[in-house]
Structure 1
Amino acid sequence: MFTGTAVENCLAQLGVTDVVWLPDSVMGPWEGALAASQRIALRRVCREGEAWALAGGLWLGGRRPLVMIQSTGLFESGDALRNMLFDFRLPLYAMVGYRSYLTADSRDTAKQFLEPVLAAWGVDWVLLKEANDLERFSEHYSASRAAQRPGMSLLAEGAM
């Protein structure tokens, strides 16, 4: 959908200092550009729950992190997410791979539950499903930062 170079450039222009990630098949190809970046530090984690804790610490230390994980990892990391976004009230932002979104007949529960879970948490999000949606991400990220609120961009994945 997006090239690693385009993502790295967009994030740098937005002032993102760190990408905290456990990539999936759509975000994985961006690793080369993010790892080579002189403007953004790539922080790899082993579990998605670690991503929220690390991003929270980076935020408290004056950095501007972005979490990148898949929707199944978002479910796994719910307690850490709850702590960072709601208990500590940190305005963290994430790009989340929306597993099976583009697979019309999918019965994947990751597809069925992502939007209801985010609605229950009251997390503001935007869907990215077109090749030119990087600008949409940029606008949503900027609005979330300006309002000092958490936000997420859901990156459509799967076969059409």
Structure 2
Amino acid sequence: MQYIKYINNKVGKQNKCIYLLALEKHFYYIVSTVAILLNGEVLMTEQQAMLSPLTILDKIKENNVTHVIYLPDSETNHLFIAMEEDPNIEVITVGREAETMAIAAGVIVGGKIPVCLVQNTGMMESGDSIRGLGLDCNLPIVMIIGYRGWTRWGITPDSAARLTEPTLNAWGIQYYLVEHDGDADRITLAFQTAAATQKPVAVLVGDEYHGFNRMNLDEERKIIKEG
């Protein structure tokens, strides 16, 4: 409450941001934006800022993806369910992330369009296959990468997050950050960049721990249908 009182006293009513802070393992994380107020109106709520698994799936389909190569995990469970239910997408699960690149290469040779869905730790584990297949063989593979540990606010104790972008830069791989539904067109940009350069391109999903698990898929489909 003292923090909120401080914000109320120091920041004008026309441009006010209030954040909830949580203490976890002796590190402060900004875990939720309560509201952003401008001229007394709420511009973005937590729900509006979410990244929906159905949005990701729609962009995958818009770019004519035929195969999703994926290591299942709990964070992207709702996306996995949505992909499995879609008759136009073939989901290929793997035992370790490095296998995704070899399978994606085979899909491309077969005349189809793959996307690899992994976490940033898995991206690092896949370094040699990304180098040998993606980069050296000039394969236009889009990797949708869960940005584990990433925070917009700069307090990033997880080394997986701190090393993600430097690693991509070291490999010379272009990437796009997607935080919420409003960023979804960057997924299409990633496919366009991959096609133009004939190189792997990454999409970093900054909202991995929130949007994918925030809403039941059936409820979300109902909202989309009614809205």
Calculate the TM-score normalised by the size of structure 2: 0.65
C-alpha displacement of 1:130: 2.5
User: How much identity, in percent, do the aligned residues show?
Assistant: 31
Q: 1:79 to 1:147 in 2, by over 3 A?
A: closer
**Match in the other structure for 1:82:** 131
Unpaired segments ≥5 residues, structure 2? 1-49, 211-227
Unpaired segments ≥5 residues, structure 1? none
C-alpha displacement of 1:158: 5.0
Q: CA RMSD in A?
A: 1.8
User: Which residue type is aligned with residue 198 of structure 2?
Assistant: Q
Secondary structure, in 3 states, of the residue corresponding to 2:181?
A: coil
**Match in the other structure for 1:51:** 100
C-alpha displacement of 1:113: 0.8
Query: 1:71·1:110 contact (CA, 8 Å) conserved in 2?
Result: yes
Looking at structure 1, the residues matched to 77 and 136 of structure 2 have their Cα atoms a distance apart, in angstroms, of 31
Looking at structure 2, the residues matched to 114 and 88 of structure 1 have their Cα atoms a distance apart, in angstroms, of 23
User: Which residue type is aligned with residue 69 of structure 1?
Assistant: V
Query: 2:120·2:160 contact (CA, 8 Å) conserved in 1?
Result: yes
Query: 2:51·2:180 contact (CA, 8 Å) conserved in 1?
Result: no
- Pairing partner for 1:14 from 44, 60, 63: 63
Looking at structure 2, the residues matched to 132 and 75 of structure 1 have their Cα atoms a distance apart, in angstroms, of 28
Matched ranges for 1:95-114 at <5 A: 95-102=144-151, 104-114=154-164
Matched ranges for 1:1-160 at <5 A: 1-102=50-151, 104-156=154-206, 157-158=208-209
User: Which residue type is aligned with residue 120 of structure 2?
Assistant: S
C-alpha displacement of 1:25: 4.2
Query: 1:19·1:68 contact (CA, 8 Å) conserved in 2?
Result: yes
Looking at structure 1, the residues matched to 193 and 165 of structure 2 have their Cα atoms a distance apart, in angstroms, of 20
**Match in the other structure for 2:18:** none
User: Which residue type is aligned with residue 63 of structure 1?
Assistant: K
Secondary structure, in 3 states, of the residue corresponding to 1:154?
A: strand
Relative to its length, the structure with more strand (as a share) is: 2
Query: 2:97·2:122 contact (CA, 8 Å) conserved in 1?
Result: yes
Q: Which range moved further: 85-94 or 3-12? A: 3-12
Secondary structure, in 3 states, of the residue corresponding to 1:43?
A: strand
Q: Which range moved further: 127-136 or 35-44? A: 127-136
Looking at structure 2, the residues matched to 12 and 153 of structure 1 have their Cα atoms a distance apart, in angstroms, of 15
Looking at structure 1, the residues matched to 144 and 172 of structure 2 have their Cα atoms a distance apart, in angstroms, of 16
C-alpha displacement of 1:86: 2.1
